[in-house]
Structure 1
Amino acid sequence: MSLSMISPTIPANEEKRLESIRKLDIIDTFAEESYDSITKLASEICQTPIALITILGSEKNWFKSKLGTSIPELEREFSFCGHAILNPNELFEVPNTLEDVRFKDNPLVLPLESGVRFYAGVPILDEEGLPLGTLCVLDSKEHHLTENQKSSLKSLAKQVELLFEYRRKNQALEKMKNDLDENNRILREFASTVSHDLKMPLANMIITADILKAKYSDKLDDDGVNYLNYLKHSGLTLSEYINGLLDYYSSSSLHEDTHQEFFLNDLLEDIIDLLQIDQNCEINLPDNNLKIFGNSAALGQIFMNLISNSIKYNNSEKIIIELDCTENREFYNFSIRDNGIGIPKEKQNNIFELFTTAADRDRHGKKGHGIGLSTVKKLIGSLGGNITITSEEDKGTHFEFNIKRSRKVD
């Protein structure tokens, strides 16, 4: 059959328009309530049985949302939307398709009883003003939109544009997340390689320094003995640094461990035993021995780092550390307060950043690596919580943090 209908022309910016559609990556995606609610509103406002959100590809007109039809797509040459996008800043309305030379022989119009008689579409634009498709309404009888209906249809089309913008931003965030995950994977592999390749030579260096000191100390002057001590100290420092990096890059996997039920004070007592505290130190456990269902390994590492820091960065004759805990419906809340050297105000905003330290030296004169608190913040974040700090120089530091309660499955 020969048709006298006029197929829509191809826009001058067609390649850029199609590239924008490819980047949006929306064709053949599943139906979404946020889009379907817009077609429902468009149908009700315009009093038409059919409403569509379309994406106009190179050959097909695909429907992201459709109301009143089961057709998933149609040929672009028969598409009303192909005409609508030619004037991207205007609403395109055809009150009666039988009276419009562009559509009177269109296969969608020809069925006299059920064919499309009315069409109105608003182009949906990307951030550069390129038309990607339309929000359109259709009817099987002649129809005329009121000015209010036209204004409402344009407003709804703007909402579709916002949804497209959110989709693009979510795609960018997802790509950024994937890139970060890949970078972290590479860093973890690097840390593992460093651990494997350096730990044994470092251990040998430390042991050799001890052997040389034990065997030849009577033949060395004071400088020689000091050199051996310095060699051992440097080896131990580097070993601690490597262990800190390994802890940091492995901490992201701790929150995946199986949750279990445990008492907080039992966990804290185990940590204090592991620290082998030999200073004049008083650690006061919470009065409330909280029963927790959660990740004991992750929480243990958090307290291990915080208590260790409270001891290392403390010049008081008697170290005092106060631990406390509470709970509510959503979170476990924890507190650790010490009488240490405190953290300067100018450092408090970035104290949780990697390689940032509270002081140049700890109570033993050793320089910190700035990994522990960064690991703490990372772990707490993975457990759905947050950490804050209150500190005053020479008066102590108070950390407060929470972790999201886990639901126990029977």
Structure 2
Amino acid sequence: MLEPKIPQNEVQRLNAVQSYQLLDTLPEDEYDNITSLVASVCNVPICLITLIDKDRNFLKSHYGVNIDESPRSTSFCGHAILTPQDLFIVEDARKDSRFKNNPIVSEQGHLFYAGAPLVNEEGFALGTLCIFDMKPRTLQHKEKEIIVALANQVVKLFELHKKNNELNKTYKELEERNKRLKKFAGLVTHDLKSPLGNITTLTRMLKEECLTAVSDQCNQYLDYIEESSVTMKNYVNDMLDFYKSDGLLKEKATQFLLNELFEELEEMLFVDNSNFIHPTQSISIHTNKQALYQILLNLIANSLKYSHHSNPTVTIEFSEDFQNYIFKVIDNGQGISPKDQKGIFDMFKTTANTDKDGKRGSGIGLATVKNLVKKLNGTIKLESTLGKGTSITFTIKKTV
């Protein structure tokens, strides 16, 4: 028995399979009707619609069998997707070196197989529409045409399913954005009203106090004005960064050296009493550089801003698996209490911590990070211990 080879475009193919969000879904009549029809027309006991995942065949429809998945290593479908332009036929598996001693043949007695690869518009073979029989046989020309034609219909059903998911996602995003805008409008009238009022009142007091001379009291009023203005400016800037973050996602993925990106961040953010530890070897990755830069910029700046350590240190660890780039940003700051960690990435969520100047954050920066990571098909999580520091791990899905 020979295990199926892995296609050269396997990362992209798996991304395509997962993008349809059909893995591990329940049976649906649209697909079951097709497998039933093909089994009847071809007079076979088994007809399947499969999606080939990393290590398994997921059976979206399984006429004639009672299983939902099977190992990819022994599958006929794994061989079928290697020639996505052709109908893959094995007339007698006992005589084919690829399937001798295969448990599907030796234990289950499946001798005949025909599978039409389910190829999407980008050319990725997602799985197959296939049939099995317990005896060797051949297919008539008309039967072959029917299998191929209905395989195309399956792909169209996949595309409709995907578009429906995208519409639902867009609808939910619009709903969420509207909720944020409403919440922001309410917070603006509350949180910005106070510093703006301070500016107006203090300016009047300043005019009255400084008609004849500039006193210490005038200087104090000026300090109040500056503090209120900075608070307002930071709040507005954070909001602008959040809403501009979606624009970064329009940038195309490019190939670049990760260590050069770290060097840019180090030059911008780190001074003599702060330390930046990061991989220095030449690591080439392919993703949206501007979005990744903004994510790391926000996380590192946050770590430095809220560190009360005499020598603040930020460490970045990088690794990767088959489908994801994995980043971990670690600091030696004051940490975050367990009660404040809940919902830490939600918009306007703030903690009891204050920055080096004694001010609290706006609760927007980490929401911006989460938004970017999510749009890059990644995940993010936080671990923190009071008095020891915080680590934030996020992933970004590979594009090639």
TM-score by length of 1: 0.51
Whether 2:313 is the aligned partner of 1:315: answer no
Q: What SS is found at the alignment partner of 2:249?
A: helix
Q: Offset at 1:32? A: 4.7
Matched residue of 1:334: which SS?
strand
1:233 aligned residue: 227
In 1, are the aligned partners of 2:306 and 2:353 still within 8 Å (CA)? no
Over 3 Å counting, the alpha-carbon distance change for 1:272 and 1:357 in structure 2 is farther
Select 1:33's aligned residue among 31, 34, 45: 31
Deviates more, 1:314-323 or 1:219-228: 219-228
Secondary structure of the residue aligned to 1:350 is: coil
Distance 2:331 2:176 in 1: 36
1:362 maps onto 2:355 in alignment: yes
Distance 1:175 1:402, change over 3 A: closer
CA distance, structure 2, for counterparts of residue 396 and residue 347 of structure 1: 14
Are residue 382 (structure 1) and residue 382 (structure 2) matched? no
CA distance 1:360–1:396, change in 2 (3 Å): closer
Please name the residue that 1:242 is paired with: 236
Spell out, residue by residue over 1:112-153, the C-alpha distance to the aligned partner (whole angstroms, 9 max, x if none): xxxxxxxxxxxxxxxxxxxxxxxxxxxxxxxxxxxxxxxxxx
Equivalent AA in structure 1 for residue 275 of structure 2: E
Structure 2 counterpart of 1:293, from 286, 290, 295: 286
Q: What is residue 215 of structure 2 aligned with on the other side?
A: 221
Q: 2:319 aligns with which of 312, 315, 326?
A: 326
Equivalences for residues 7-406 of structure 1 within 5 A: 32-39=30-37, 174-175=167-168, 177-178=170-171, 180-181=173-174, 184=177, 219-275=213-269, 277-278=270-271, 280-406=273-399
TM-score scaled by length of structure 2: 0.52
Q: In 2, distance between residues paired with 1:288 and 1:328?
A: 18
Paired residue total? 246
Secondary structure of the 1:325 match is: strand
Q: CA 1:189–1:270 in structure 2 vs 1: closer, same or farther (change >3 Å)?
A: farther
Give the deviation of 1:250 after TM superposition: 2.3
> Shift of the alpha carbon at 1:177?
3.8
Contact 1:354 1:371 in 2 (8 A): yes
**Alpha-carbon separation, structure 1, partners of 2:307 and 2:172:** 40
Report SS of the residue matched to 1:256: coil
Other structure's SS at 2:302 match: helix
Q: 1:406 to 1:346 in 2, by over 3 A?
A: same
Aligned CA distance change for structure 1 residues 291 and 175 (closer, same or farther; 3 Å): closer
Secondary structure in structure 2 of the residue aligned to 1:368: coil
Distance 1:217 1:401, change over 3 A: farther
Identity %, equivalent residues = 32
Which has more radius of gyration? 1
Deviations 1:360-407 (A, max 9, x none): 411111210011111111111111111122210010111111111122
Gaps of 5+ in 1: 1-30, 48-166
